[in-house]
């Protein structure tokens, strides 16, 4: 797939799935706006790809603040004139049992995972509507489909992202804008710390028919498919990328 002259905005691009996706699009010719609150991670990505600095724009952004989101979108439009593809990959994941969960912990998870997706979709859709074209890919999760212990806060946001995406897919379809979700399974990113892997890694691996954990590149390939012309007639779906761990 070739994305030359396409402009892609990716949130959560300093690490994990977001970083892997940014690298994949960059390698295929796209202009990339990498967005994250982790400024050091953004600088690292820029340093690793200094040869392509003309096609990169790094913007430190707190996705929970709509004013910052709007400013970021404006900066991308100012540099490249448009946004062809939006990938909402920003998210946080920390476990907590219901009875131990604080209001602040619950709220922060909602704000990053759900509000951040909403803010960027709203801001970018306004620009895409003007051009009557665009691709939006939001990151859901296997957790939003099946639930798991100590993850009620996270599960709620990821299920919410799916419902939100289906609804706006209907709203934006008349403007030739597609909206789809990717639901990753167990992907080896910094979100999983060593303690979690020691406790659950073996059990998780046994539950994956393909016999391995996913890598960010696996998700990036699925995202690129949904962003490509091959998926021009696909909207409102959730594409499961989990190695067969959960079938529906």
Cα dihedral sign for 38, 40, 42, 45? negative
Buried b (16+ CB within 10 A) or exposed e, 100-134: eeeeeebeebbbbbbbbbbbbbebbbebbbeeeeb
Q: Are strands 56-60 and 85-88 parallel, antiparallel or unpaired?
A: unpaired
SS3 11: strand
Q: Is 154 a catalytic residue?
A: yes
Neighbours of 161 (CB within 10 A): 26
Given 93, 154, 175, 233, the catalytic residue: 154
Burial of 220 (0-12, 13-18, 19+ CB in 10 A): buried
Catalytic residues: 154
């Amino acid at each position: 797939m070739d994305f030359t002259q396409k402009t892609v905005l990716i949130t959560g691009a300093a690490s994990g799935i977001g970083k892997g996706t940014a690298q994949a699009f960059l390698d295929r010719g796209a202009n990339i706006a990498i967005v994250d609150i982790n400024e050091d991670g953004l600088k690292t990505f820029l340093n690793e790809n200094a040869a392509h600095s003309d096609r990169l724009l790094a913007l430190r952004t707190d996705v929970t603040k709509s004013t910052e989101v709007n400013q970021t979108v404006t900066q991308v439009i100012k540099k490249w004139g448009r946004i062809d593809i939006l990938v909402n990959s920003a998210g946080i994941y920390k476990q907590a049992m219901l009875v131990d969960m604080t209001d602040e912990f619950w709220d922060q998870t909602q704000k990053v995972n759900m509000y951040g997706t909403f803010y960027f979709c709203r801001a970018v859709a306004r620009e895409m509507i003007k051009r009557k074209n665009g691709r939006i890919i939001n990151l859901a999760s296997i957790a939003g489909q099946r639930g798991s212990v100590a993850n009620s806060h996270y599960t709620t946001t990821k299920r919410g992202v799916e419902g939100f995406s289906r609804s706006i897919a209907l709203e934006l379809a008349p403007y030739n804008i597609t909206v789809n979700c990717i639901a990753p399974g167990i992907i080896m990113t910094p979100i999983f710390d060593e303690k979690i892997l020691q406790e659950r890694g073996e059990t998780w691996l046994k539950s994956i028919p393909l016999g391995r954990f996913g890598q960010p590149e696996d998700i990036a390939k699925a995202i690129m498919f949904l962003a490509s012309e091959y998926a021009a007639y696909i909207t409102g779906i959730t594409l499961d990328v989990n190695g067969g761990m959960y079938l529906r």
